[in-house]
Homo-oligomer: A and B are copies of this chain.
Amino acid sequence: MKFSAQQIADFLHGEVVGNASVEVSNLSKIEEGTPGTLTFLANPKYTHYIYQTKASIVLVHKEFEPEHPVEATLIKVDDPYACLALLLNLVNEALTAKKGIEEPHYVAQSVTLPDDIYLGAFAYIGERVKIGKNVKIYPQVYVGNDVVLGDNVTLYPGVKIYHSCVIGNNCTLHAGVVIGGDGFGFAPQANGEYAKIAQIGNVVLEDNVEIGANTTIDRATMGSTVIHKGVKLDNLIQIAHNVEVGEHTVIAAQAGIAGSAKVGSHSMIGGQVGVAGHIKLGDRIQVGAQSGIPNHVDDDAIIMGYPAVPSKEFARQVVYIKRLPDLTRTVKELAKEVESLKEQLKNK
C-alpha cells in the first residue's frame, strides 16, 4: 500500500511542506532513509541527517525550519515521535491482521469459539477454555484445559499454556513462551534422591502484560504465580513458582526470578539479573544488568553488582579494584620506609 504525503498529513493533522503527492510505502530511520519511505526527526542531535536523507517524507516538529535546502517533503506535526508511533502501529496492524479459522485445528467439544477469533492451523484448545473477544491464536499454540483468555489476547506461534492458567485482557505472548510449567519443587529424601512435589497452583497474567519469546513462567505449588497489570517481560526470562511481579515493571532479557520472590511495581530490572528466592524487592527500583540480588531491596533503590549494592557504590568499587595493584605497591613501600624509620630510630 502506498500513501501520499497529503494523505498522511491529513491523517496526522499536519502540514505539508514540499511535494504533497510524493508517495511512500514504508518507514525508515533518518540515517538509513531510502526513496519511497517516510522517516522522522525527533532528536535535534540527528538534524544534520535531514539534509542528506534519501527518504521521501520526513515528519518534523511544527517549529522546525531548515537551515539548508531539504530534498524530502516535510510534514510538520505537533509531536513527530508520537506521530511515528501511530504510523508504526498502523503499518503493524496491516501486516499482522488475521481473522478466520484455519484447518486442521483441535478444539475440545466443551469450547465455543467466538466469531471474531483468529485460530491458526495446528492450534490446540483444551476442555472448558474460555476465549474473549478479538483473540488471535497463531498456529501450533497449545492452550490447556480450563485456561481463560481475556479480550484482545494474542498468542504467537508455539505458545504453550498449561491447564488452569489465566491470561488477562490485551496480553501478548510471543513465540515459544511457556506459561504454567511445573515449579521446581523437589523434596530431598533420606536416601539422597528427590521426591517431586506436585504443583497444583496456576499462573495469572493480569491485563496488558507482554511476554517475549521463549520466556517461561512456572505455575505455583499452591495459589498463583502472578504477573500484575502492565508488566513487560523480554525474551528468555525465567519466572519461578509463586513469584509475584508488581504492576508496570519491565524486565530485560534472560533475567531470572527465583521461587516466591516478590518484585515490586514500576521497576526496571536489567538483562541477565538474578533475584534470589523468597525475597522482596521494593517499588520503583532500578537494577543494572547481570546483577545478583540476594536480599530484600528498599523502594526506589538503584542497584548493581554481584552481590548488588547501590549503583554509585558499585561504580566506586570498580575504580578501587582497578587501583589495587597501586595500593598494594604503596603499602609495600610504606612498610619499607617504616622498617627504615625503625632502624634509624634505633641508631639515634
Knowing A124-B157, A214-B214, A345-B344, the reply to whether A28 touches B95 (Cβ < 8 A) is no
List B contacts of A162 (CB < 8 A). Answer: 156, 175
A238 partner, pick from B120, B235, B307, B337, beta carbons under 8 A: B235
Classify chain A's interface size: 35 or more
* CA A196 to CA B197, docked complex, whole Å: 38
Knowing A29-B222, A160-B175, A271-B256, the reply to whether A102 touches B106 (Cβ < 8 A) is yes
A10-18, A59-67, A70-78, A186-194: which lies at the B interface? Answer: A186-194
| Least Cβ–Cβ distance between A204 and chain B, in angstroms | 13
List B contacts of A223 (CB < 8 A). Answer: 28-29, 32
Check: A168 CB closer than 8 A to any chain B CB.
no
Knowing A252-B184, A348-B348, the reply to whether A323 touches B331 (Cβ < 8 A) is no
Chain B residue at minimum C-beta to C-beta distance from A330: B331
B121 close to A124 (CB less than 8 A):
yes
List B contacts of A102 (CB < 8 A). Answer: 106
List B contacts of A85 (CB < 8 A). Answer: 187, 195, 197-198
A198 partner, pick from B92, B106, B144, B230, beta carbons under 8 A: B92
CB-CB contacts below 8 Å: A134-152 with B: 138-140, 142, 144-145
A44-52, A110-118, A313-321: which lies at the B interface? Answer: A313-321
* CA A29 to CA B91, docked complex, whole Å: 48
* CA A248 to CA B193, docked complex, whole Å: 6
Knowing A216-B214, A321-B317, A327-B327, the reply to whether A253 touches B256 (Cβ < 8 A) is yes
Q: Which of A26, A178, A197, A307 has most B Cβ within 10 Å?
A: A178
Q: Which of A120, A145, A306 has most B Cβ within 10 Å?
A: A306
Give 1 or 0 for each of A303-335: 1 = CB within 8 Å of chain B CB.
Answer: 000110100010011101111110110110011
* CA A327 to CA B325, docked complex, whole Å: 11
A92 close to B216 (CB less than 8 A):
no
A254 close to B256 (CB less than 8 A):
yes
* CA A339 to CA B74, docked complex, whole Å: 70
A238 close to B254 (CB less than 8 A):
yes
* CA A335 to CA B321, docked complex, whole Å: 20
Give 1 or 0 for each of A144-188: 1 = CB within 8 Å of chain B CB.
Answer: 110000000000111010111000000010111010011010110
B250 close to A258 (CB less than 8 A):
no
* CA A321 to CA B322, docked complex, whole Å: 10
B248 close to A252 (CB less than 8 A):
no
Chain B residue at minimum C-beta to C-beta distance from A231: B194
Give 1 or 0 for each of A207-233: 1 = CB within 8 Å of chain B CB.
Answer: 010101110101001110000001010
Top 7 closest pairs, chain A to chain B, by CB: A92-B198, A142-B157, A88-B198, A106-B121, A320-B324, A181-B213, A160-B175
A–B pairs, 14, beta carbons within 8 Å: A85-B195, A85-B197, A88-B198, A95-B163, A102-B106, A160-B176, A176-B178, A192-B266, A272-B292, A320-B325, A321-B321, A324-B324, A327-B328, A344-B345
Given A26-B200, A156-B162, A238-B254, 18 additional A-B pairs, CB 8 A: A29-B223, A88-B221, A95-B163, A103-B106, A120-B124, A162-B175, A176-B178, A218-B235, A238-B271, A240-B253, A272-B292, A289-B294, A307-B318, A309-B322, A323-B328, A331-B331, A334-B334, A344-B345
